[in-house]
Homo-oligomer: A and B are copies of this chain.
Amino acid sequence: LRNIKLTIEYNGTAYKGWQVQTKKACSRAKTIQETIERVLYRMLGERVRVAASGRTDAGVHAKAQVANFKTHSLITPEKLQEGLNGLLPGDIAVVEAKEVDAGFHSRFSAKSKIYRYTILNRLCRSAFLKETAYFCRYPLNVRLMRQEARSLRGTHDFKAFQATSKKEKKSIRTIERIDIIRDHELIHIDIEANGFLYTMARSIVGTLIDAGRGKLQRGALKKILDSKDRKMAGPTAPACGLWLMEVKYD
């Protein structure tokens, strides 16, 4: 059985996410996983299960989601990539396909992940970025946001930024870095961590936006983190601004 690693780019707008999270009714038609598995079945004549580094929510995008699957097929990685890109819808693209060691698992072998949250921070909506950035018309103070973000770095219990609907038992994670970058009208918040709780990235971003708008006192992020209470944190920022940028392996 061969083990194939895929690096996948997708615009999540039309999808329920990588994999369905809950049984709640959702207007979006399908998941990214299903869409890829269906095309692989067509190509390989074999039902395979494509496991990703992690789920992404409905509307979240990826520049480089990593997934892998086991197959009996002898197809070359080049032919596989070409075939997938020919048959997949335009909003999903396979940027790399390669054969890897049997022991490689996209999720369990991952050392860290980098998410980027993109905010369009200007007075007027964009004709281009509606699906791929969060539009915030209030001027954000990036310096303040950076100061507040500092207290999130390192190893902490991130319970305060975890969705109340879906709690994981262990809520300790390590944030290696949070960078806040201004690029003209855009603000990017890059977070690298060894793992993310459900909606953790978006809850942190929503709270940092509150800080950037001047709605919080200095040191608020530290207090929120220490409280371990989701009610203390800001709103969960909308999915459209979130991008899975990279999954790191050894």
Contact = CB atoms under 8 A, between A and B. Distances in A.
Most buried by B among A81, A91, A128: A128
Interface string A117-149: 000001011111010100000000000000000
What are the 3 A-B residue pairs with the smallest beta carbon separation, nearest first? A93-B127, A9-B127, A11-B127
Interface residues on A, range: 20 to 34
Nearest to A126: B93
Contact of A124 (B85, B126, B128): B85
A125 B11 contact: no
A183 to B, nearest CB: 12
A127 B90 contact: yes
A79 to B, nearest CB: 13
A126 B90 CA distance: 8
Interface in A156-209: none
